[in-house]
Structure 1
Amino acid sequence: MKKTAIIPLRKESKGIPGKNKKKMLGRPLFSWVLTEAVFSNLDEVYVFTDDQEIIDYIHKEYHWTSKVKTLLRSAENATDTASTESAMLEFTAQLQNSFEILCLLQATSPMTIAADINAVLDKIEIEKYDSALTVVNSHRFTWNTDGTPQNYDVFNRPRRQDFEGLLIENGAVYATTTPAFVETKNRVSGKIGLVPMGESTLVEIDSVTDWKIVEELLAARLKKAKKHQRIDYLVLDVDGVFTDGKVAYSTEGELTKVFDMRDGMGLEILRQNQVEVVVITSENSALVAQRMQKLQIEYTFLVVKDKYAFLQYFAKDRNTSFAAMAYIGDDVNDLANICSVGWSFAPANATEIARQNADYLLTNKSAEGAIREACEWIIKYNERY
């Protein structure tokens, strides 16, 4: 069964302006669910949007996978009053229902992971439901506006551990067979399956306060999932890690960056100890390319904005995992990787948010021996393996 997903995005947002493109842990909000969709059992994932900037971003950042596609959403279906179902109908009409299962993913649910998407798909593909959705089991007591309880007896208040609670939609993942959607024009219908997700996924991002809560929950989840093993890869940012973050410009463009020779020697020694070096930077710098060539760093990737998604792809391609990686980063665009790899480092002069989230705060500054210090730490750490 061909499984196609739609991630509907609108350019405008009243609650949080530019919400879908706003950076959560250094990544655009929509990229969290999009990346999980790439590594799920879906066959293709369409970002359906009226925002050309998002379309251009996806074409640049997800060139490494054929699974991600974009489709332009009409202005009529991108207004505040347009329903999600109307967007889904426009989407299916454009694709002429060329799939067996339609999956709706919401960008405002960044806690969604590939396993959640797969579980919803399995309800239809394996358990033969007509549709399915994700829910959260809430143990809150609810009331009607007339002062009467909805889900418990006030004179026989149950203990939490004895209370079944309520199943509440968390708006993260929906899926339906194409025939069911064509007939009802609704995201769920017929025999409906339920897939539980954790209680932390119940928070919806409608305000700045919600945003801060979800961002903290997301960072905590990534850190909790960390695993430690022998480090096989050291992954580095460039500006603020290799360099002091400063660059000299002329009318002809970039002139100079300052690198520390001790860092280069440290990386050479690290490779001699069977640790591969990977460089990922958002910049397109001829100076950086030349320096990495001089250092004989084979895995050098320039112009990568979404470092987290690309590092996931790299790990899968190399048949390794985040647990086997160390990462050195200095700023907000490194946060997702800092929170995810086995061990993360921040130079002494990194931004406050990077230093707060890194596992290890280096005593040396960038371009003043920070990389060399991390190399020596990794060599000692790996000796136990």
Structure 2
Amino acid sequence: MKKIGFIPLRKGSKGISNKNKRKMVGRPLFTWVLGEAIFSNLDEVYVYTDDEDIIDFINKEYHWTDKVKALKRSDISATDTASTETAMNEFCESIDYNFDTFCLLQATSPFTRKDDINNCLAKLNDGYDSALTVVNTHRFLWNEDGKPINYNPLERPRRQDFEGLLIENGAVYTVTKEALKTHKNRIGEKTAVVKMPEDSLLEIDSESDWIAIESLLIERQKREKESKKITHLVLDVDGVFTDGTITYTKDGEHTKSFDMRDGMGLEILRQFGIQVMIMTSENSQLVAKRMEKLKLKHVFLGVKDKYTLLKSIINDADISISNVAYVGDDVNDLTNICSVGWSLAPNNATDIVKANADVVLSKNSGAGAIREACQFISNYNKRF
């Protein structure tokens, strides 16, 4: 039974410019649902877009998995007036319906988790030909004529006694191939519902929506932290190992400065069995040489979606994300900062990172921050 995911993306966005690519908690918005899809029970995940930048991003970023594929959609299916079903049907015909189960995922639903996807997929094994995600809302609804829709105002129920209504949140839809071919629609004739948290009902149509959703995601990630022994330390490079500046020569070459004491701190940590990893968005040979000198084997260069790669690493290592400490300084580190067991930021990190890190170090980057972080981790692990 082949199960495929489908994420349609358009280049244009009227409400928020470049919405799909804009960073939500430091990650492009569409990578929130894409990352969850990668770790779900889907066999393949297709991103269907007219944006060449996104196609290039996916081809470079997710080379560590063969599950993700990016395809160019037609201009006709990417207009403002084209429906999602137009893109779905165009895609399905282009691959000759080579699947058994189709899963539509909306990039503008960053609250989607892999369990939501898996639960929708599982419903198709229970006699349903489609499933969708909903939210149980306890709002009292009225029509334009001033008449109540879902309750009696004279017997106004308490919230805990009110069943409320199930509202489609537009996050996940699953449908069998047979139903999709017959109806040309994301929904078949016998549909199951899967409940998601009420926050997932929020839509991203304005700047205020963006701010609210970003704040909720940050708090969600932080709430899931647990107190566990640190077994892995992951570090950014620029603004962590270095002071964040680059010196160029007249020939265009550049240099970076590293603090030797940081290297000693990492060596001490490794003596206690803590695995040290490097994860940076830059693809720098200077960095590669320095990490080789430090005898660090796990070096990941040119990483833009750091959170999804980190989840892949912890899955392979069979550890919890709370077993990880992370040192970062800028917005592209933010999701990891909010998610790992212990996050640390140099004293000269960006304000948004310092506001969300568990520990703001007294030392600046390139001037002892890593050594201080290593000492903190050593002291913290003593309790275990």
Which residues of 2 match residues 216-235 of structure 1 at below 5 A? 216-235=215-234
Alignment pair present for 1:364 and 2:380? no
Distance 2:137 2:270 in 1: 50
Q: Secondary structure of the equivalent of 1:193? A: strand
Q: Percent identity?
A: 61
TM-score by length of 2: 0.99
Equivalence for 1:326? 325
Q: Structure 2, unaligned stretches of length 5 or more? A: none
Report the alpha carbon displacement of residue 65 of structure 1 after superposing the two structures with TM: 0.6
Distance 2:319 2:92 in 1: 37
Distance 2:55 2:67 in 1: 14
Q: Secondary structure of the equivalent of 1:263? A: helix
Distance 1:227 1:375 in 2: 20
Q: Secondary structure of the equivalent of 1:57? A: helix
Report the alpha carbon displacement of residue 258 of structure 1 after superposing the two structures with TM: 1.3
Equivalence for 1:111? 111
Distance 1:193 1:252 in 2: 63
CA offsets per residue over residues 188-241 of structure 1, 9 Å max, x none?
Answer: 121100000000111011111111111111111111111221111110000000
Equivalence for 1:264? 263
Distance 2:244 2:290 in 1: 15
Equivalence for 1:99? 99
Q: Secondary structure of the equivalent of 1:339? A: helix
Letter in 2 for 1:44: E
Equivalence for 2:34? 34
Equivalence for 2:8? 8
Which residues of 2 match residues 190-339 of structure 1 at below 5 A? 190-339=189-338
CA offsets per residue over residues 306-337 of structure 1, 9 Å max, x none?
Answer: 11111111111222221110000000000010
Q: Structure 1, unaligned stretches of length 5 or more? A: none
Aligned residues: 384
Letter in 2 for 1:377: F
Report the alpha carbon displacement of residue 251 of structure 1 after superposing the two structures with TM: 3.8
Runs of 4+ in 1 over 6 A off after TM superposition: none
Distance 2:31 2:109 in 1: 11
Report the alpha carbon displacement of residue 286 of structure 1 after superposing the two structures with TM: 1.6
Distance 1:58 1:253 in 2: 29
Distance 2:88 2:267 in 1: 53
Letter in 1 for 2:207: V
Q: Secondary structure of the equivalent of 2:289? A: helix
Distance 1:363 1:238 in 2: 18
CA offsets per residue over residues 76-105 of structure 1, 9 Å max, x none?
Answer: 010110000111110110111111111000
Equivalence for 1:130? 129
TM-score by length of 1: 0.99
Distance 2:85 2:299 in 1: 43
Report the alpha carbon displacement of residue 5 of structure 1 after superposing the two structures with TM: 1.0
Alignment pair present for 1:88 and 2:88? yes
Distance 1:255 1:19 in 2: 34
Q: Secondary structure of the equivalent of 1:19? A: coil
Equivalence for 1:45? 45
Letter in 2 for 1:193: A
Aligned-residue RMSD, C-alpha: 0.8
Distance 1:17 1:381 in 2: 44
Report the alpha carbon displacement of residue 285 of structure 1 after superposing the two structures with TM: 1.3
Distance 1:298 1:190 in 2: 53
